[in-house]
Structure 1
Amino acid sequence: MRFLRVEAMAGVVLLLSTLVALVLSNTAWSEQFLAFWEMHAGLTLGGIEFSRSLKHWVNDGLMTLFFFVIALELKRELVLGELRNPRMAALPVAAALGGMVVPAGLFLLLVGGGPGASGWGTVMSTDTAFVIGCLAILGSRIPQSLRLFLLSLAIFDDIGAILVVAIGYGGDLNWNAIGLVAVGLAVVAGIARLGIRSIPVYFAIGGCIWLAFDASGIHATLAGVILGLMTPARSWVSDTRLHAIFDRVVAYPPGDHWSGDKVARRDLRQAGVAAREALSPIERLEFALHPWVAFTIMPLFALANAGVPIAAASFDHTLTTAIFAALVVGKPVGVVLFSFLAVKLRAGILPGELSWGLLIAGSLLTGIGFTMALFIAELAFDSVLLDSVKLGVMGASVISAAAGFLALVWLTSSSRQERHKQPAVPPSRQW
């Protein structure tokens, strides 16, 4: 899967960017580095000023594309991938729900009514790139079903987290702007039904929808989720039509048929359009945007948000401990508990090659909450508490990554030795 390969490489780049941010924020350049992301940039037209800090443009603007790509991958899996089976999709959905509810509850239990209690959404999501990066290091030792389970879980809880952001961490609602959002979405649906395929047109309308969301009091990144889920998952040109067009081009004998205003040239151009449109809009957009998101937007996000001046900061130990425990303990407990309930209630099914041992070991990785945790933390916490939260998030991410990786190494090594000792299970007995 191309998405998994890109995410695995993105995990390395994201880690390097995080280390750079940590180093720069704890050196003599700390003040300049942190001040850089607070610089304002924007447009001024007469008396109208539209200006935001660079961190705001990264977190609310560029991250919209991150959520757009996440929504594209989710819809592709639900419509075209292995999650087309509702019971197969129900397992990661239940796991994601448990991975949001349990850590949020544990966080509130530990914090109580203290400062930062409103930041419960910080511990709800899993960092897709880091999780897939950990699995990529293990290579073929990890079954594909575990990769798909953790990828789907991370995508579902990212979607859940951004809905929490939109509802729980927005501002006062502007109903006129919300009306413009509805009009913009209706326009997108209408021109799609009319057969308009120009991607620049959709991006222009999407930009207007983002501006309306930004003014509405609902977090603007929700625009990326909605537009991603609205993107068509079926190709414009069927396989039968594509073969017919290519057969017509191939039928020409060797020679100079392609220059001038000839029928052969028109057939060749039609074949080029058909080859492009044979891929669904979801696949085309994912291929085009995913590398940019993985290797540009995510590193910029890490540079803008991961800087913690440790020596100069004052930490709230209760808050840091609550964040740490919710991610390291609450996430895997919630994932395993809700997965178990889904299977026992026959709402979901456990793939044959995915054992409960592998699922439990893999669930330890879900405590890596880096990207979305920092994203929500910027919205939910006062600046005086933010360094405490970042320390808890990054500490939990390191411990979760180490625990999950070591557990999977030990389990796959043990499983491999037992398989060599025991006779193979006949195909008729496999799930």
Structure 2
Amino acid sequence: MTDRVRAYPAAQRGFPLLPSRLRRGSKATKTTDNSAAALLLTFTVIAILWANSPWAHTYSALLDTPVGVMIGTHHFEMTVKHIVNDGLMTFFFFIVGLEVTREFTVGELTDRSRAAVPVVAAAAGLVLPAVVFLAFNPSGENAHAWGVVISTDTAFLVGALAIIKPMFPARVRLFLLTLAVVDDVGALIAIAVFYSDSIQVGPLVVSVVLIVALALVRYLPAAHGPAYAGLGVSLWVALYMAGIHPTLAGVAVALLIPVFTPERRPVEKAVEQIRAFRQSPNSQYARAASRSLRESISINERLQTAVGPTVSFVILPLFALVNAGVLLDAQSLSTALRSPLTWGIVAGLVLGKFFGITGATWLIRRTGLGQLAPGLTLRRIAGGAALSGIGFTISLFIVDIAIDDPGRQDQARIGVLAASVIAFALGWAIFRLTDRLSPPEPVGMKLLRPIDPERDHFRGRVDAPLTLVEYGDFECPFCSRVTGAIDEVRAHFGDDLLYVWRHFPLERAHPRAFDAARASEAAALQGRFWEMAHELFEHQDDLEWADIYRYAVSAGCDIEQFDQDVRVHAKKVLHRVTDDAEDAEEMDLNATPTLFVNGKRHRGPWDAASLIRALEQARG
């Protein structure tokens, strides 16, 4: 048995340390998203007020101001508007590409069953709005602007959800963010295929060569950042000269940047370097420690952290400032009200997005091809689908490249702005109405997700009249004691009690709890969950992976299969843990253990006698 464990030493495996998904729903992240959305809205209002003020001519003059660079006899010139739309927006599409790569590699879209619903819903939310738009504009110059209605503005979507504050918003927020990733992919493909100028073969060949070079950068021993930057700028120039919209260079670079989850080996190496620097501070150790820290995190994640705030708080507000300044006098509004272009955009974004996303979600659930995440309902999807009609950033971006006439551009911009306001009002009404018709229980007082024998870990009879659900982690000493107490409780009630365990790893207090939870789920794939749970509770002070592998053998697991499940098929076990943890977050749980008696939160001591009294009261 010992030899079998030694065949998989933790230091040689480089075991991946997958971070908790709880960080994505943290208050800091939500505050940042809301601030970015508020800033984007502020600059939108400024642009509209400026374009309709007595100083409107200065607004137009600013956008048309030429900015150029001259080197010898060569001269390159762009207007301020084109610098923002064609240059700075490359960084926006770069961040979108990084997010797409991350989601398909280590995020939500790696699980096919989980990704099926938002992927299909997003596809329907791309196609149906275009169909609705073309029903209003079947031919002529306006028909080419169908791409304006296909995309949702993620920043405004998240901000709108924060303003509306529906009950339990985290699940629908995660669903909409996943949907937005696929939505962005569709918009990028549309821009590349349908909204590029006539192609120039020479620069296009150069672009292909540069893309191949970008794909090979990951094999360089060092200087990855400068290589990506230099080749990325060159690709932007080559695409610009080839007649392809140059912002797609950002997407191409992002898709070719590797992404991986942190592994124990480089993390431990970084810790050793920091320890050496602490003992003997010098520039050599400082550089080594800094390099080790960087290399322990994928360049994809580092770039999102470094570039993302600049995009959110600088580039997107500037984009809104130079693109949202539409004239809203009586004549322009009257023209827009009679324009099929304006109404096509409004109908496409508001109706197309709503019916496309909601209808596709209902259909794929009805056919059994996909499942919603636990706790997420169709009425929540309907509210989110309505908010998806908020098209702004990419919609205005496509307005600028799909329509040449300034008058028609204004009609399209009015349509985008009107659709965004209507979509927000519709989403607000749906969330408020559904919350009022079926008001949820106070947060954390009622079990959010019903017991599901197909996915929950339980002991006892499925149809037992009494249920006890525990949210805990394997490093919590109180949970260990609860497990002992529950043995007494189960002995007292016998077949009348169904006991359920759910994961709630408190990583700040118990840093090894998340890994232990994943290990228990890997054992569960072999039908050994409870045996593994017993081993983990028995050895709470020794939960390193080298130890956990020994416990897996003691629990009766096939160690090779266990190793495959926690390393190669990590998503199978990851989502089981994060589902439970996100439910706990939704219910505002903050301590382990937390117990629910017959679906209601237990208040008071958790010793055997107290739990027996609570269950007897529930039965009475």
TM-score by length of 1: 0.91
CA contact (8 A) 2:391 2:416 kept: yes
Distance across 1 between alignment mates of 2:169 and 2:294:
33
CA contact (8 A) 2:43 2:320 kept: yes
Distance across 2 between alignment mates of 1:238 and 1:422:
38
Report the equivalent of 1:387: 410
Across the two proteins, how many residue pairs are aligned to each other? 423
Which structure has the higher relative contact order (CA within 8 Å, separation 6+)? 1
1:400 aligns with 2:423: yes
Candidates 276, 286, 293, aligned match of 2:304? 286
366-375 or 76-85, which moves further after superposition? 76-85
CA contact (8 A) 1:135 1:142 kept: no
Distance across 2 between alignment mates of 1:243 and 1:425:
38
Distance across 2 between alignment mates of 1:335 and 1:33:
38
Distance across 2 between alignment mates of 1:280 and 1:212:
28
Q: How far 1:96 moved relative to its partner?
A: 1.4
State the SS of the aligned residue for 1:141.
coil
Q: How far 1:89 moved relative to its partner?
A: 1.9
State the AA in 2 paired with 1:403: L
Distance 1:244 1:103, change over 3 A: closer
Candidates 160, 170, 190, aligned match of 2:216? 190
Q: How far 1:266 moved relative to its partner?
A: 4.2
1:352 aligns with 2:374: yes
Q: Could you list the per-position Cα deviations for residues 244-291 of structure 1 after superposition, in whole angstroms to 9, with x for gaps in the alignment? A: 452465379x86x224xxxxx644542232122211111100000111
Q: How far 1:346 moved relative to its partner?
A: 3.9
Q: How far 1:121 moved relative to its partner?
A: 0.7
Report the equivalent of 1:372: 394
CA contact (8 A) 2:196 2:245 kept: yes
Candidates 268, 272, 296, aligned match of 2:314? 296
**Higher share in helix:** 1
Q: How does 1:82-161 map to 2 (within 5 A)?
A: 82-139=108-165, 141-161=167-187
Distance across 2 between alignment mates of 1:146 and 1:303:
30
Distance across 2 between alignment mates of 1:42 and 1:97:
41
Candidates 86, 107, 122, aligned match of 1:81? 107
Distance across 2 between alignment mates of 1:38 and 1:372:
21
Q: How far 1:38 moved relative to its partner?
A: 1.2
Distance across 2 between alignment mates of 1:243 and 1:139:
41
Report the equivalent of 1:428: 452
Q: Could you list the per-position Cα deviations for residues 154-182 of structure 1 after superposition, in whole angstroms to 9, with x for gaps in the alignment? A: 22212211211121111111111111111
CA contact (8 A) 1:142 1:412 kept: no
Distance across 1 between alignment mates of 2:54 and 2:30:
38
Distance across 1 between alignment mates of 2:439 and 2:285:
55
Distance 1:268 1:36, change over 3 A: closer
Distance 1:250 1:185, change over 3 A: same
State the AA in 1 paired with 2:84: V
Candidates 196, 205, 218, aligned match of 2:244? 218
Distance across 2 between alignment mates of 1:85 and 1:130:
27
Report the equivalent of 1:70: 96
Q: Could you list the per-position Cα deviations for residues 291-311 of structure 1 after superposition, in whole angstroms to 9, with x for gaps in the alignment? A: 100010001000100011122
State the AA in 1 paired with 2:317: P
Q: Could you list the per-position Cα deviations for residues 319-353 of structure 1 after superposition, in whole angstroms to 9, with x for gaps in the alignment? A: 21111111111111111222233334444321121
State the AA in 2 paired with 1:377: V
Q: How far 1:47 moved relative to its partner?
A: 4.1
State the SS of the aligned residue for 2:388.
helix
Distance across 2 between alignment mates of 1:419 and 1:38:
55
Report the equivalent of 1:335: 357
Candidates 264, 274, 277, aligned match of 1:239? 264
CA contact (8 A) 2:89 2:247 kept: yes
Distance across 1 between alignment mates of 2:347 and 2:454:
38
Distance across 1 between alignment mates of 2:419 and 2:93:
23
Distance 1:194 1:115, change over 3 A: closer
107-116 or 323-332, which moves further after superposition? 107-116
Report the equivalent of 2:50: 24
Where structure 2 has 5 or more consecutive residues not aligned to the other structure, the ranges are 1-23, 456-620
Q: How far 1:119 moved relative to its partner?
A: 0.6
Distance across 2 between alignment mates of 1:328 and 1:22:
22
Q: Could you list the per-position Cα deviations for residues 121-168 of structure 1 after superposition, in whole angstroms to 9, with x for gaps in the alignment? A: 110000000000112234582342211111122222122112111211
State the SS of the aligned residue for 1:41.
strand
Distance 1:243 1:117, change over 3 A: same
5-14 or 181-190, which moves further after superposition? 5-14
Distance across 2 between alignment mates of 1:248 and 1:127:
43
Distance across 2 between alignment mates of 1:371 and 1:266:
45
Distance across 2 between alignment mates of 1:187 and 1:94:
34
CA contact (8 A) 1:30 1:309 kept: no
Candidates 37, 50, 57, aligned match of 1:11? 37
Q: How does 1:192-211 map to 2 (within 5 A)?
A: 192-211=218-237
Distance across 2 between alignment mates of 1:241 and 1:169:
44
Distance across 2 between alignment mates of 1:223 and 1:53:
20
State the SS of the aligned residue for 1:307.
coil
337-346 or 117-126, which moves further after superposition? 337-346
Distance 1:212 1:240, change over 3 A: same
CA contact (8 A) 2:90 2:248 kept: yes
CA contact (8 A) 2:374 2:449 kept: no
Report the equivalent of 2:61: 35
Q: How far 1:416 moved relative to its partner?
A: 3.6
State the SS of the aligned residue for 1:159.
helix
Q: How far 1:66 moved relative to its partner?
A: 0.4
Q: How far 1:55 moved relative to its partner?
A: 0.8
Report the equivalent of 1:262: none
Q: How does 1:161-176 map to 2 (within 5 A)?
A: 161-176=187-202
Where structure 1 has 5 or more consecutive residues not aligned to the other structure, the ranges are 260-264
Report the equivalent of 1:51: 77
State the SS of the aligned residue for 1:170.
coil
Distance across 2 between alignment mates of 1:199 and 1:343:
44
CA contact (8 A) 2:97 2:254 kept: yes
State the AA in 2 paired with 1:366: S
